[in-house]
């Protein structure tokens, strides 16, 4: 027999204004269950979690929480109250029996000391403090609303590991597909006020959703045909037997009411990027550029060539200088040394991540038109601002809405609309996916894929990067950056999965002074580790073996009859050859790096 639920929401109803936000939503969570709560922006996901957490009272329905069960809710906008430090806020969430060391340990694992003043925290720091508060008490039910927003990749992957090791029941709202796929085993879809449940993880959701919508569309088509048939009978049928006819009149009225009450799915965003004339073949050429702030090196001796049509992702921990690197490459900032050459006919459109820079008193229409007239220029063609707003899922009534009243997702869509209206052949996108729902992300992804120019993209969304970019630039520490071919997953296979080693670390001044000062009479000299020496000795044989395997597989593929004779074997050999080439390239890259390191150390 299945265990009783820790949390049970049944028939939840809630109305804000005219249209019901929730009109019969259910949510059930059992011990250790991992649920992804998905739906469009504005569908009521956050509100449903707030109802479950007891922060919002529904108009109807029942809320049951198992007596004694501890529930923790992570809000998108944390309230730190009057706490003077991050540590005191996290400790306030502990149970009386909890060890207070847990709070400090979690903060340290999240890159904080605990002495930070909540009023001075950045968005990413505030999210990490809130996560520490939610995790510290090891609750029975953990409800997370967009937990990965404003977090860097090392922190997201740390959070995945931490949550995966806990027995806590989870309910997660997130636009991060990879995060949901890795963690969840049940999916609840909130759509037009009601919920549907899939007893599989998020990885199966999109195919299931498309099937449900296709069936719904077929049912509506059948209903339309039935109404048309009944209306035809009303006009041309036999008028005798009045009582029977009146029954059919009533049935027709019921059918029409059913059709009127149907709430269709929300439309998809129609995102288009303005394009300028084609840029030169070489878009950016950076030669040995360096940039420091005080004693801290942000970029050291970095070179890069960006060709027309390239899509380059830049990833790494917060604070490593991703935005600074973008500014150097696009000419918005000047390097301390080295040179940056921009290609001919370059027109740059930029989306920055600072959505709080929007004037809260400016209306949506004014932000898009610049306060002049009622049209927006898109691809050199004037378009009425209301029509352009609809493309980005804004209603006409929102034209006069102050920006300060918009949600995080709406502010994100507005900044996208501003940036993409500009004619460009180089798109620079700094965290474009924050707060966007998955459907809008899909359209944005298609827009970038079809964009005829060049793209530089900073993102912590692994799935988004894998789908879009052809190269990834990663910080290696001390201002060093390396470019890897392929997407995010390809980079991890070549480099390894420890992105946190590039994170900036603050050392106590006294310790730093001792570390910087070599011992008298003992010059410091680095040496290759045993692991590196072993790799240098064994990699040539590995490379030789992989090359031999690749040659063997290629010989089999050269058989012109193989495809006709055995399609399955052809497909398998093709797949094996691709994998062998990938391993060969990674091994050659590793050997080259180690050999360069050996020569550098030998020359000291």
Give the CB-side neighbour count of residue 479, counting CA atoms within 13 A.
18
Question: What pLDDT is stored for residue 603 in this prediction?
Answer: 59
Verify that 104 and 192 share a domain, yes or no: yes
Q: Name the pairing type of β-strands 381-384 and 375-378.
A: antiparallel
Q: Name the pairing type of β-strands 454-458 and 426-430.
A: parallel
Q: Where do we find the tokens 């501890």?
A: 70
Cα 447 off chain centre by: 16
The answer to whether 310 touches 457, Cβ cutoff 8 Å, is no
Verify that 195 and 232 share a domain, yes or no: no
Question: What pLDDT is stored for residue 30 in this prediction?
Answer: 93
Degrees, nearest 5: CA angle 37-42-44: 50
Asked if the structure places residue 519 within a domain, the reply is no
Verify that 420 and 355 share a domain, yes or no: yes
Q: Tell me the Ramachandran region of residue 536: left when phi exceeds 0, alpha when psi lies from -120 to 50, beta otherwise.
A: alpha
Question: What pLDDT is stored for residue 391 in this prediction?
Answer: 79
Cα distances (angstroms) measured from residue 95 to each of 72, 92, 100, 402: 12, 8, 9, 42
Verify that 248 and 314 share a domain, yes or no: no
Verify that 168 and 252 share a domain, yes or no: no
Give the CB-side neighbour count of residue 587, counting CA atoms within 13 A.
19
Verify that 385 and 492 share a domain, yes or no: yes
Cα distances (angstroms) measured from residue 10 to each of 24, 339, 550: 7, 63, 59
Verify that 361 and 468 share a domain, yes or no: yes
Asked if the structure places residue 272 within a domain, the reply is no
Q: What is the per-residue pLDDT across 36-75, written as a single tens digit (0 to 9) for each?
A: 999 887 788 999 999 999 999 999 999 999 999 999 999 8
Query: What is the extent of the structural domain holding 63?
Result: 7-207
Question: What pLDDT is stored for residue 525 in this prediction?
Answer: 44
The answer to whether 481 touches 302, Cβ cutoff 8 Å, is yes
Domain count, the chain: 4
Q: What is the per-residue pLDDT across 180-233, written as a single tens digit (0 to 9) for each?
A: 999 999 999 998 889 999 999 998 998 898 888 888 778 777 767 776 766 655
Three-state SS for 192? Answer: coil
Verify that 194 and 342 share a domain, yes or no: no
Verify that 176 and 243 share a domain, yes or no: no
CATH of residue 44's domain is 3.40.50.300
* Residues of the chain predicted below pLDDT 50: 239-244, 505-525
CATH of residue 546's domain is 1.10.287.380
Closest CA to 457 of 502, 423, 488: 488
Among the candidates 443, 468, 502, a domain finishes at 502
DSSP structural state of residue 197: E
Closest CA to 36 of 230, 200, 270, 223: 200
CA dihedral over 368, 342, 431, 79, signed as positive or negative:
negative
Question: What pLDDT is stored for residue 25 in this prediction?
Answer: 93
Question: What pLDDT is stored for residue 275 in this prediction?
Answer: 58
Spell 412-436 as b/e; 16+ CB within 10 A means b: bbbbbbbbbbbebbbbbbbbbbbbb
| Average pLDDT, rounded, for the chain | 81
pTM over 0.85? The answer is no
Among the candidates 470, 486, 502, a domain finishes at 502
Asked if the structure places residue 288 within a domain, the reply is yes
CA distance 403 to 359: 7
The answer to whether 50 touches 66, Cβ cutoff 8 Å, is no
Asked if the structure places residue 514 within a domain, the reply is no
Question: What pLDDT is stored for residue 262 in this prediction?
Answer: 54
CA distance 512 to 518: 11
Three-state SS for 113? Answer: coil
Closest CA to 147 of 135, 139, 137: 135
Verify that 366 and 474 share a domain, yes or no: yes
Among the candidates 186, 207, 228, a domain finishes at 207
Asked if the structure places residue 513 within a domain, the reply is no
Backbone phi, psi, residue 333, to 5°: -135, 155
Verify that 534 and 419 share a domain, yes or no: no
CA distance 146 to 127: 10
Degrees, nearest 5: CA angle 106-111-114: 65
Question: What pLDDT is stored for residue 241 in this prediction?
Answer: 45
CA distance 604 to 602: 6
Asked if the structure places residue 76 within a domain, the reply is yes
CA distance 109 to 521: 38
Verify that 165 and 148 share a domain, yes or no: yes
The answer to whether 95 touches 68, Cβ cutoff 8 Å, is no
Element (H, E) at 470: none
Question: What pLDDT is stored for residue 50 in this prediction?
Answer: 93
Asked if the structure places residue 509 within a domain, the reply is no
Q: What is the biggest distance separating any 2 CA atoms in the chain, rounded to whole angstroms? A: 117
Asked if the structure places residue 375 within a domain, the reply is yes
């Amino acid at each position: 027999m299945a265990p009783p639920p820790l949390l049970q929401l049944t028939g939840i109803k809630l109305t804000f204004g005219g249209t019901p936000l929730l009109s019969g939503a259910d949510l059930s969570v059992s011990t250790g269950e991992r649920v992804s709560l998905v739906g469009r922006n504005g569908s009521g996901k956050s509100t449903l979690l707030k109802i479950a957490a007891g922060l919002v009272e529904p108009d109807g329905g029942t809320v049951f929480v198992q007596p004694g069960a501890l529930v923790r809710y992570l809000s998108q906008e944390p309230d730190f109250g009057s706490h003077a430090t991050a540590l005191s806020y996290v400790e306030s969430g502990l149970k009386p029996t909890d060890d207070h060391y847990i709070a400090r340990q979690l903060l340290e694992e999240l890159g904080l000391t605990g002495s930070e003043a909540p009023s001075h925290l950045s968005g990413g720091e505030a999210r990490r403090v809130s996560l520490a508060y939610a995790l510290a008490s090891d609750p029975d039910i953990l409800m997370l609303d967009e937990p990965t927003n404003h977090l860097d990749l090392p922190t997201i992957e740390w959070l995945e590991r931490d949550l995966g090791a806990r027995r806590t029941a989870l309910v997660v709202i997130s636009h991060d597909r990879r995060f949901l796929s890795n963690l969840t085993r049940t999916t609840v879809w909130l759509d037009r006020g009601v919920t549907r449940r899939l007893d599989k993880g998020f990885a199966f959701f999109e195919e299931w959703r498309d099937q449900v919508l296709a069936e719904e569309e077929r049912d509506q088509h059948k209903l339309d045909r039935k109404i048309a048939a009944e209306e035809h009978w009303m006009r041309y049928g036999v008028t005798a037997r009045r009582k029977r006819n009146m029954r059919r009149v009533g049935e027709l009225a019921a059918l029409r009411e059913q059709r009127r009450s149907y709430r269709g799915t929300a439309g998809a965003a129609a995102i288009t990027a303005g394009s300028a004339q084609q840029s030169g073949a070489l878009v950016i050429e950076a030669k040995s550029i360096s940039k420091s702030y005080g004693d801290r090196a942000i970029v050291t001796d970095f070179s890069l060539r960006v060709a027309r049509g390239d899509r380059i992702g830049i990833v790494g921990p917060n604070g490593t200088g991703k935005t600074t690197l973008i500014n150097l490459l696009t000419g918005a900032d000047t390097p301390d040394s080295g040179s940056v050459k921009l290609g001919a006919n370059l027109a740059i459109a930029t989306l920055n991540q600072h959505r709080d820079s929007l004037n809260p008193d400016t209306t949506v229409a004014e932000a898009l038109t610049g306060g002049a007239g009622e049209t927006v220029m898109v691809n050199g063609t004037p378009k009425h601002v209301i029509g352009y707003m609809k493309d980005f899922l804004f209603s006409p009534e929102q034209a006069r809405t102050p920006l300060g009243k918009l949600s995080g997702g709406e502010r994100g869509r507005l900044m996208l609309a501003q940036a993409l209206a500009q004619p460009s052949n180089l798109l620079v996108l700094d965290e474009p996916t924050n707060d966007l729902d998955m459907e809008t992300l899909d359209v944005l992804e298609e827009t970038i894929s079809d964009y005829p120019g060049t793209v530089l993209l900073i993102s912590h969304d692994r799935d988004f990067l894998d789908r879009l970019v052809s190269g990834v630039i990663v910080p290696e520490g001390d201002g060093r950056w390396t470019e890897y071919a392929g997407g995010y997953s390809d980079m991890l296979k070549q480099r390894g999965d420890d992105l946190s080693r590039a994170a900036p670390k603050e050392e106590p001044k006294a310790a730093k002074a001792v570390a910087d000062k070599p011992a008298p009479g003992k010059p410091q000299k680095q040496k290759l580790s045993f692991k590196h020496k072993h790799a240098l000795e064994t990699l040539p044989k590995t490379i030789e073996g992989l090359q031999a395997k690749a040659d063997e597989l290629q010989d089999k593929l050269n058989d012109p009859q193989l495809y006709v004779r055995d399609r399955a074997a052809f497909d398998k050999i093709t797949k094996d050859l691709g994998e062998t080439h990938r391993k060969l390239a990674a091994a050659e890259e590793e050997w080259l790096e180690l050999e360069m390191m050996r020569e550098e150390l030998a020359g000291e």
